[in-house]
Amino acid sequence: MDSVSVLIPTLLRPLVEGRSEVVLPADAPMTVGGLLDRLSEGRPLLERRIRDETGALRRYVNIYVGGEDVRRLELLDTPVEPGDTVMVIQSVAGG
């Protein structure tokens, strides 16, 4: 496997041409932050939705690598291996 699959939540799909999954080439390990950089290339609106201007993951956006919440791992420094599936999911928020 020389790719990483990123699963996109419904509300963000208009920003990735309507797709539920974006497959990014990955022939070497990278970090979640690096993966988001690639995902956001040419998609500045998507970048703003997931990370703020400081580069921090927005508070109510969750990312899972291999089913594990990156907030329990190394956040944006969490390693991503070729073949991994990465999920972007909005968490519970709003009254």
Number of Cβ atoms within 10 Å of the Cβ of 69: 15
The least CB distance from residue 55 to another protein, in Å, is 7
**Contact residue for another protein among 1, 14, 20, 60 (CB under 8 A):** 60
3-class DSSP state of 57:
strand
Amino acid of residue 50: I
In angstroms, rounded to a whole number, what is the distance separating the alpha carbons of residues 29 and 60? 26
Q: Quick check: 17 binds another protein (CB under 8 A)?
A: no
**Contact residue for another protein among 14, 20, 21, 44 (CB under 8 A):** 44
Number of Cβ atoms within 10 Å of the Cβ of 87: 17
Q: How many CA atoms lie within 13 A of 55 on its CB side?
A: 9
Q: Quick check: 14 binds another protein (CB under 8 A)?
A: no
The least CB distance from residue 60 to another protein, in Å, is 5
Q: Quick check: 40 binds another protein (CB under 8 A)?
A: no
Binding residues (CB under 8 A) for another protein: these are 11-12, 44-45, 48-50, 52-56, 58, 60-61, 90-91, 93-95
